[in-house]
Structure 1
Amino acid sequence: MGKVCVDIFPHDPRATFPIRFYLYRVYPHPGRHLGQGRSELRVGMQVGDELEEQVYLTNQSIFPALWVEFLDGSNLPGYTLSSVRGVGGGGSLSWRARTICSRRGVFTLGPWEVRTGDPFGLFLVRHQMLEPQEILVYPPLAVLPETLIPHRGKLGDHRPLRLPLQADTADGMSVREYVYGDSLRRIHWPTTARKETPYVKVFEPESVSRIWLLPDLDPEVQLGDGEDSTEETIILLAASLAARLLRDRFHVGVFLGGEEPVVALPDRGLSTLWKLLELLAPCHPVTGNNLSRQLAQFRPLLSPRDMVLVISAAMNEEWVQSLQRLIPFYDRGGAWVLLLDPHSFGGTHQADDFRTLLANLGVETRIIRRGDIRSMPGVYGELSRWEFITLGTGRAIARQTPRRLAALFTG
């Protein structure tokens, strides 16, 4: 519920001091005895889900509250509780507010305020709920065609990626500078002491099991609006690839460049998926975060047999040169690119010629055109809410519960 502040003050300049004292200390205005609250009925939201809240108002005074104004500071697009209601003495009322979550991201429900006053406009009562509730709207997911799932070529062969090993090997251990998110257990103390800055150990896995997703959110190359924009398509692809690859038991990580790079180190399992989705949900283009710079920032995190999967709509050779500097870390096929075709999103460049440039570097490339990937509702599982029924004995049991998040890893 948060902290509640109640202010009772006359706001009419005609009120003399005796009147002010009477109104503040003596007059039994129902505003002193109002109770209010809001509770979220649905959980685990993704884009396209319906947010539903139960709002209630109670009046414990014997006098009616003729008008009660709700002022809502929620920033979820298209959603507000702001309205004017009335409630009788000793009465209560409740209603539900609903909206479709049309945009991914982190939003707040509240802060909010309830106002009421006397019929003559002499004073005002305010109940302030100052602590907003944060909600997360996950990005949508899509079922991807097999052609977009990365494979790793070797000696002219085209074969699936190998399943991850259970442990790293000590062979070929190297060190690199510590970055936020690294485990403190991997600090290499001799190098840290010599360099006077933290360094961590990097182990080479015996087979490919770690995949890095690099969504390109350079604002200079984004095209389109809403669901059909390159920005939303990139996030949709990144989220869907993470879900699919984690289901296939790979270690998946995400890197987002910028002034303060965001890193989710490769890991596996359902908990990793929610961590990656939570990271991707609020991501939007940031000025200066071009793909070439992102690749340069990312390079220290690489292990020799990691795979890099770039998702971008950029058609310039600068980032290709940066990618080329990464390729020596791999055997052939260690980098994949999902290239969004700018022409299909309303731009002037076409992706086919650019794919040839990447193919000459030995980089597998798939072209994504507008409309090729569509989000699917309910991929997170059937949306439901807590609903209870009361038995004849008076015991309440749950008839319906919210969706089970583990549904993503079934099938």
Structure 2
Amino acid sequence: MAMATIRMNSRLPLFVAVVLLFLQVFSPAPPILTLLLGMAGVLLVGYIWVRQLSRGVSLQRKRRYGWAQVGDLIQERWILHNDAWVPVLWAEIQEHTDMAGYDASRAIGLGAMSSVTWTTEGTCLQRGVFTLGPLDIVMGDPFGLFTVRLHYAYTDSFVIYPSIVALPELVEPLGVVRGNSRANLRSIEQTTNASTVRGYVPGDPLNRIHWRTTARRSHAGQEMIFVKEFDLEPTGDVWIILDMHAGVHAGQGAESTEEYAVTLAASLANQLLRDNLAVGLITHASSPLVIAPRKGHQHLWELLRALSPLHATSDLPVADLLTLFEPAITRNMSIALITPSADPGWIENLGLLLRHGVHVTALLLDALSFGGNGNVQGVLGALADLQVPAHVIDRGVRFQSLLQKRQQQPEFRVLGTGRVVVAKEGETADWVTVDMAGGGP
């Protein structure tokens, strides 16, 4: 429900009316009386006019989606109702959103006992969590004496997810085996991978005895019992470690190492989850952020939701980031480190993980190509000495989006005859009314 506030634009007409009343009382005259009645009538009509508008005007808001991706079109439908017996000579709709590229404010007029519908749209230029609302409707009387403001305190969060682009196979998780191979390490617990057998020793569980081998290799006078040996179960869990240290990022807007890093993290998560791998996220912005590795398409949206508001505001260098979260990264896991840091000091921290049996892939953003400082070639050489796969991403890399941008309007094409036809239908999702009282569609 909107809260109505009526305000008098100027006290001068009221002051004039009081002066005329004073003159009429102490020095009555027909011209003064006429002016007094006229001024009082104008004030009364103006007030009643805006009073009617405050009770009879309402706004309805509809939206198709509660989220979007960078590059999508956001579209909203508005319906302004006027149930009053006086027309809306002018109304200014003021939408106080912080979303870049979208402005729903407009001016409009409306007759008595009628309604009007219009559509606003904008392009989602920047990822993040934005606020739609609050909203004000400002109207006035014909004489410009009074203004009524209808305030809708409603606000709604609108999430713009980062882009998901096509990537080559940048990360080879440790648990993914290509071709025929055997693990070098054995598991002390039973797994699904029984690779060989060995002689029985006291304490081996009886359910691990391989009876067929025992029967085949045993003979009269020399009975032997063989038990199964199990390989370590390949976990395939991948940690994406995202460096958000403010001191190493460069560039602005879409052409920044920050935006490239988030796009890489989102796209890499999508790629690995499609391969049925468990993916987790480790980063640090204003505070530490850890999302445990899980599988499934639903987990992708959890990761994208965490990446959407992320900005390079951390005071924690990548070396300290690796040290801080080292206990969470266990043996036989893989990490994909995304960083623009050209300081080779963090290589030593990476070496600790390598000695613990962690498989590492580094995605290095060349801050120099974004207008920043530092050359990643030194880091690249140090990683090569450790036999760590590394990839350098420069500014200007052409990313191909994997998800089709949602087009909520039909696309038209003009034929050679001059006839206009629909070349591509728009989205068919239904319009959902936004609850302006409670907030949210």
TM-score (normalizing by structure 1): 0.75
Q: 1:170 to 1:118 in 2, by over 3 A?
A: farther
8 Å contact 2:87–2:111 — kept in the other structure? yes
Q: Quick one: distance in 1 between partners of 2:346 and 2:47?
A: 68
Q: Quick one: distance in 2 between partners of 1:98 and 1:27?
A: 30
8 Å contact 2:175–2:236 — kept in the other structure? no
Q: Shift in Å at residue 375 of structure 1?
A: 4.4
Q: 1:335 to 1:15 in 2, by over 3 A?
A: same
8 Å contact 1:76–1:107 — kept in the other structure? yes
8 Å contact 1:42–1:385 — kept in the other structure? no
The residue number in structure 2 matching 1:322 is 349
Q: Quick one: distance in 1 between partners of 2:97 and 2:49?
A: 35
8 Å contact 1:31–1:65 — kept in the other structure? no
Q: Shift in Å at residue 8 of structure 1?
A: 2.7
8 Å contact 2:66–2:158 — kept in the other structure? no
Q: SS at 1:317's partner residue?
A: coil
Q: Give the counterpart letter for 2:357 in structure 1.
A: Y
Gaps of 5+ in 1: 163-168, 173-203, 388-397, 403-411
The residue number in structure 2 matching 1:8 is 6
Q: Shift in Å at residue 55 of structure 1?
A: 1.4
Q: Shift in Å at residue 25 of structure 1?
A: 7.3
8 Å contact 2:46–2:143 — kept in the other structure? no
1:380 corresponds to 2:403: yes
The residue number in structure 1 matching 2:94 is 71
Q: Give the counterpart letter for 1:351 in structure 2.
A: V
The residue number in structure 2 matching 1:126 is 149
1:361 corresponds to 2:386: yes
Q: SS at 1:219's partner residue?
A: coil
The residue number in structure 2 matching 1:256 is 283
> Paired residue for 1:294, among 312, 321, 341?
321
8 Å contact 1:386–1:400 — kept in the other structure? no
8 Å contact 1:5–1:129 — kept in the other structure? yes
> Which range moved further: 295-304 or 230-239?
295-304
The residue number in structure 2 matching 1:226 is 253
Deviations 1:190-227 (A, max 9, x none): xxxxxxxxxxxxxx972132100011111211122222
> Which range moved further: 125-134 or 8-17?
8-17
Q: Quick one: distance in 2 between partners of 1:346 and 1:23?
A: 60
Q: Shift in Å at residue 348 of structure 1?
A: 4.9
Q: SS at 1:106's partner residue?
A: strand
Q: Quick one: distance in 1 between partners of 2:324 and 2:293?
A: 16
> Which range moved further: 132-141 or 319-328?
319-328
Q: 1:205 to 1:22 in 2, by over 3 A?
A: farther
Q: Give the counterpart letter for 1:401 in structure 2.
A: A
Q: Give the counterpart letter for 2:171 in structure 1.
A: I
RMSD over aligned Cα atoms: 3.1
TM-score (normalizing by structure 2): 0.71
Q: How many residues are matched?
A: 344
Q: Shift in Å at residue 298 of structure 1?
A: 1.2
> Which range moved further: 285-294 or 63-72?
285-294
Q: Quick one: distance in 2 between partners of 1:343 and 1:26?
A: 64
Q: Shift in Å at residue 110 of structure 1?
A: 0.9
Q: Quick one: distance in 1 between partners of 2:235 and 2:253?
A: 36
8 Å contact 1:29–1:118 — kept in the other structure? no
Q: Quick one: distance in 2 between partners of 1:259 and 1:110?
A: 26
Q: Give the counterpart letter for 2:320 in structure 1.
A: R
Q: Quick one: distance in 2 between partners of 1:153 and 1:252?
A: 12
Larger Rg computed on CA atoms: 2
8 Å contact 2:173–2:238 — kept in the other structure? no
Q: SS at 1:303's partner residue?
A: coil
Q: Quick one: distance in 2 between partners of 1:322 and 1:223?
A: 24
1:340 corresponds to 2:387: no
Q: 1:252 to 1:373 in 2, by over 3 A?
A: farther
